[in-house]
Amino acid sequence: MRHENYNDGVLPMEAIAALMKSGGLKGADATRLQPASLDLTLGARAWRVRASFLPSRLRTVAARLDDGLAMQQMDLGAGAVFERGCVYLVELNERLALPEHVKGAANPKSSTGRIDVFVRLVTDYGAAFDEIPAGYDGPLYAEISPRTFSILARRGSSLNQLRLKAGSCRLDDEALEALHASAPLVDGPANISGGLGLSVSLAGDDGMIGWRARRHSALIDVDKVGALDPNEYFEPIAPPKTGFIILDPDEFYILASKEALAVPPDYAAEMTPISPGLGEFRVHYAGFFDPGFGWSEQGVNGSRGVLEVRSHDAPFVLEDGQLVARLVYEKMAARPARLYGGDLKSNYQGQGLKLSKHFR
Ligand SMILES: O=c1ccn([C@H]2C[C@H](O)[C@@H](COP(=O)(O)OP(=O)(O)OP(=O)(O)O)O2)c(=O)[nH]1
């Protein structure tokens, strides 16, 4: 379907910028535009809360906070520590007044997922995290819960991102097969069933296949890039001789996909968890893959998916080559003027097994 300025699909940066001009998106910083998303930013007010909550269809977030869920208000002007194991709610600088046919979806930024900080978007009258109903008019909040490392963040820090979508965008398996035939999505055979299957790599010849987080490490300042020594926060995992590793439910792992993958310029992708029947673990914290990620005119450029992995309740065996996640592809409403990698300061183009940008 064709709307005023664009077709159905994920809105590219130009369409998001147009919404900023028309008042559909207020308080946003244009320098935070990405090819198919906007990095959201923390506002000045935050609350330490008793527990994670959704306002439900009848309540605003402010009303729920006043109900006794807020324990303490914090001022993020000078920065504040968000402690691991605690739950916080932060008012974001951005506010929406979406057109009736535009809905939103949010996800943590990859840099946030890679340091195991759980971030979910909450809206007034919201019945689900990270989902913004079409036509939503109201404020945005982020629930933040660091799982492994305590973090330092401040007003203006960005931990999650927003995609806006018009109409239906998702490619079914048939369309995905056709796309893979015209522009390869992975470097080998594509496992297409309910999206593009990704498998985990636990074998390698460069001495390590992943990282396991160390607990009780020092604070991470989310705004400092390239500052930290990886070995103080993570320990490397050597390729297991057995071909498998056992995930400990209390530990956080960074692993990589076996496949090098690509998102062609007219598409955006999102990593979704596989069905719980296929394994007691969770691989998806930060799920958005930008148009142009892993892609070049010549084909797949060698970028792997970095996987943030946690076992649910019990120790779980993960085998080399096991299916661990699916990438769902969506069409863009129009090709974005800039692509991931391209002339953007992208941190993860061409990545192998890469920790977050905070590390050297
Ligand atoms: O679980 C994930 C999520 C994303 N990515 C890749 C694809 C995505 O296109 C890229 C950048 O993701 P995002 O925009 O979320 O990262 P960022 O933290 O904003 O970094 P950058 O400054 O490079 O945009 O990282 C992964 O490998 N694993």
**CA-based torsion, 122, 80, 151, 217: positive or negative:** negative
pLDDT band of 356, cuts 50, 70, 90: very high
Cross-strand bridge partners of residue 39: 161
Distance 261 CA to ligand 1 centre (A): 13
- How many whole angstroms separate alpha carbon 83 and alpha carbon 151? 7
Question: What pLDDT, on a 0 to 100 scale, did the predictor assign at position 284?
Answer: 67
Q: Please give the structure tokens belonging to residue 223.
A: 């705004």
What would the pLDDT profile of 230-247 be if each residue is shown by its tens digit? 999 999 999 999 999 999
Ligand 1 contacts CB of residue 110 (under 6 A): yes
What would the pLDDT profile of 91-148 be if each residue is shown by its tens digit? 999 999 999 999 999 999 999 999 999 999 999 999 999 999 999 999 999 999 999 9
Q: Model's pTM, two decimal places? A: 0.95
Indicate which atom in ligand 1 lies nearest the CA of residue 158.
Answer: 19
What would the pLDDT profile of 6-22 be if each residue is shown by its tens digit? 689 999 999 999 999 99
Ligand 1 contacts CB of residue 262 (under 6 A): no
Question: What pLDDT, on a 0 to 100 scale, did the predictor assign at position 312?
Answer: 83
**CA-based torsion, 146, 326, 342, 93: positive or negative:** negative
Distance 272 CA to ligand 1 centre (A): 14
What would the pLDDT profile of 42-92 be if each residue is shown by its tens digit? 999 999 999 999 988 889 999 999 988 999 999 999 999 999 999 999 999
Lowest mean pLDDT among 96-110, 130-144, 259-273, 298-312: 298-312
- How many whole angstroms separate alpha carbon 333 and alpha carbon 2? 9
Pocket test residue of 222, 348, 349 for ligand 1, highest count of atoms within 8 A of CB: 348
Nearest-CA residue for ligand 1 atom 28 is 306
Q: What is the dihedral of CA 175, 177, 179, 182, to 10 degrees?
A: -140
**Mean of all residue pLDDT scores within the chain:** 93
- How many whole angstroms separate alpha carbon 107 and alpha carbon 290? 12
Q: Please give the structure tokens belonging to residue 126.
A: 């919201």
Pocket test residue of 39, 107, 110 for ligand 1, highest count of atoms within 8 A of CB: 110
Whether 306 and 254 have beta carbons less than 8 Å apart is answered as yes
Ligand 1 contacts CB of residue 259 (under 6 A): no
Indicate which atom in ligand 1 lies nearest the CA of residue 113.
Answer: 1
Ligand 1 contacts CB of residue 272 (under 6 A): no
What is the average pLDDT across 251-260? 95
Distance 254 CA to ligand 1 centre (A): 14
Question: What pLDDT, on a 0 to 100 scale, did the predictor assign at position 7?
Answer: 85
Q: Which helix (H) or strand (E) holds 127?
A: none
Question: What pLDDT, on a 0 to 100 scale, did the predictor assign at position 343?
Answer: 65
Question: What pLDDT, on a 0 to 100 scale, did the predictor assign at position 282?
Answer: 80
Is the predicted pLDDT of residue 5 greater than 70, yes or no? no
Percent of the chain having pLDDT more than 70?
97
Is the predicted pLDDT of residue 313 greater than 80, yes or no? yes
Ligand 1 contacts CB of residue 176 (under 6 A): no
Indicate which atom in ligand 1 lies nearest the CA of residue 351.
Answer: 27
Ligand 1 contacts CB of residue 289 (under 6 A): yes
Ligand 1 contacts CB of residue 34 (under 6 A): yes
Question: 199-209 in b/e burial notation, b at 16+ Cβ within 10 A?
Answer: bbbbebeeeeb
Question: What pLDDT, on a 0 to 100 scale, did the predictor assign at position 4?
Answer: 61
- How many whole angstroms separate alpha carbon 184 and alpha carbon 177? 10
Q: Which amino acid, 186? A: V
Ligand 1 contacts CB of residue 252 (under 6 A): no
Is the predicted pLDDT of residue 184 greater than 80, yes or no? yes
Question: What pLDDT, on a 0 to 100 scale, did the predictor assign at position 96?
Answer: 98
What is the average pLDDT across 147-170? 97
Q: Please give the structure tokens belonging to residue 164.
A: 């806006």
pLDDT band of 352, cuts 50, 70, 90: confident
- How many whole angstroms separate alpha carbon 233 and alpha carbon 149? 8
Interface ipTM > 0.90:
yes
Q: Please give the structure tokens belonging to residue 179.
A: 């796309």
Ligand 1 contacts CB of residue 305 (under 6 A): yes
Percent of the chain having pLDDT more than 90?
82
Helices assigned H by DSSP within the chain: 13-22, 61-64, 110-113, 173-182, 230-233
Alpha carbon distances (Å) from 348 to 51, 65, 172, 240: 33, 37, 27, 26
Largest CA distance in the chain: 58
Q: Please give the structure tokens belonging to residue 334.
A: 């129009």
- How many whole angstroms separate alpha carbon 285 and alpha carbon 90? 19
- Parallel, antiparallel or unpaired: strands 220-221 and 151-153: parallel
